């Protein structure tokens, strides 16, 4: 997503050239290219698919919408398995139209995980609940902290449900270091993503994630916390940024790799 201006073939070639060993993929470009064809493309390039983004949106009350969401998440699990990644990242979903009940929405996510967790584990895929910054609580993700994500995940076996830690969403939270340790101790640190916090935020607050090193987040400190908790998996850089998307994708990828080494390496 950091360089969504690149097509899948361009992306794979650019990663190979920069010796980036793995890539997190999003479902839409993979579906457009064809899941099997995408799997073959990355496999033959020797590139690991670190995670698939994203499942989730599991807060609907309406039974029909709820059934559709579960079907869509099973499809996402199948796609993850086909791509050879063991991790599907979940963005939980916001409040249904007109609802003010955060607690109820969080409980519906748990109900959905009870169905999806075993389905995923049978296919070698772990679900990773990603807490999103509290500014998304109403319209995107009612799971706002790592503690909440773990409260949900721990109702299920760790090989079914864990968490995705993204610095952009948790950097402000003084409880997050202890929650990272909790996640690591439980074998639930399933993914780790970097993005920096820059202001002013753009309208809609979706596409203002900062390039690594441009903002307020101490990347090396968070990497240290995650690794101290036992995480040895890939580290993804996931930037939603209109400015970066407007530039040449290969140049942005090279810049990102350089920033990673300088600020998080």
Under the criterion CB under 8 A, does residue 228 sit at the interface with a second copy?
no
**b/e map 129-167, b = 16+ CB within 10 Å:** bbbbbeebbeebbbbbbbbbbbebbbebebbbbbbbbbb
Of these, 144, 160, 211, 256, which contacts a second copy (CB under 8 A)?
A: 144
DSSP state of 200: S
Map residues 195-224 to x or -, x wherever contact with a second copy holds by CB under 8 A. --x-xxxxxxx---------xxxx--x---
Which lies closer to a second copy via its Cβ, residue 77 or residue 95? 95
Of how many residues is the chain composed? 265
CB of 174 to a second copy, least distance (A): 6
Question: How wide is the angle at C-alpha 262 spanned by C-alphas 259 and 264, nearest 5°?
Answer: 85
Under the criterion CB under 8 A, does residue 61 sit at the interface with a second copy?
no
The phi and psi torsions of 114 (rounded to 5 degrees) equal -65, -30
Cβ(33)–Cβ(45) under 8 Å?
no
Residues in 98-127 that interact with a second copy by CB under 8 A: 99-103, 106
Which lies closer to a second copy via its Cβ, residue 171 or residue 231? 171
State the maximum Cα–Cα separation within the chain, in Å, rounded to a whole number. 49
Under the criterion CB under 8 A, does residue 63 sit at the interface with a second copy?
no
CB of 27 to a second copy, least distance (A): 24
Under the criterion CB under 8 A, does residue 95 sit at the interface with a second copy?
yes
Under the criterion CB under 8 A, does residue 135 sit at the interface with a second copy?
yes
Cβ(158)–Cβ(188) under 8 Å?
yes
Binding site for a second copy (CB under 8 A): 95, 99-103, 106, 133-135, 137-139, 144-145, 147-148, 171-175, 197, 199-205, 215-218, 221
């Amino acid at each position: 997503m950091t360089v969504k201006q690149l097509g899948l073939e361009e992306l794979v070639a650019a990663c190979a050239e920069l010796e980036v060993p793995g890539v997190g993929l999003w479902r839409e470009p993979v579906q457009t290219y064809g899941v099997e064809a995408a799997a073959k493309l990355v496999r033959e390039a020797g590139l690991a698919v670190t995670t698939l983004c994203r499942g989730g949106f599991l807060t609907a009350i309406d039974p029909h919408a709820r059934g559709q969401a579960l079907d869509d998440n099973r499809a996402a699990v199948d796609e993850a398995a086909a791509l050879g990644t063991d991790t599907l990242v979940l963005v939980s979903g916001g409040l249904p139209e007109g609802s003010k009940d955060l607690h109820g929405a969080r409980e519906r996510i748990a109900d959905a995980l009870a169905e999806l967790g075993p389905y995923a584990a049978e296919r070698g895929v772990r679900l990773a609940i990603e807490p999103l910054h509290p500014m998304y609580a109403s319209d995107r993700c009612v799971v706002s902290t790592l503690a909440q994500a773990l409260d949900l995940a721990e109702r299920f076996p760790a090989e079914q449900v864990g968490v995705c830690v993204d610095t952009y969403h948790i950097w402000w939270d003084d409880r997050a270091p202890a929650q990272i340790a909790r996640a690591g101790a439980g074998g639930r640190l399933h993914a780790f993503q970097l993005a920096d916090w820059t202001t002013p935020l753009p309208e809609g607050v979706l596409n203002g994630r900062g390039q690594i090193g441009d903002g307020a987040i101490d990347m090396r400190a968070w990497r240290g916390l995650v690794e101290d908790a036992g995480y040895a998996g890939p580290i993804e850089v996931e930037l939603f940024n209109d400015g970066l998307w407007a530039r040449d994708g290969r140049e942005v990828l090279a810049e990102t790799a350089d920033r990673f080494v300088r600020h998080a390496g």
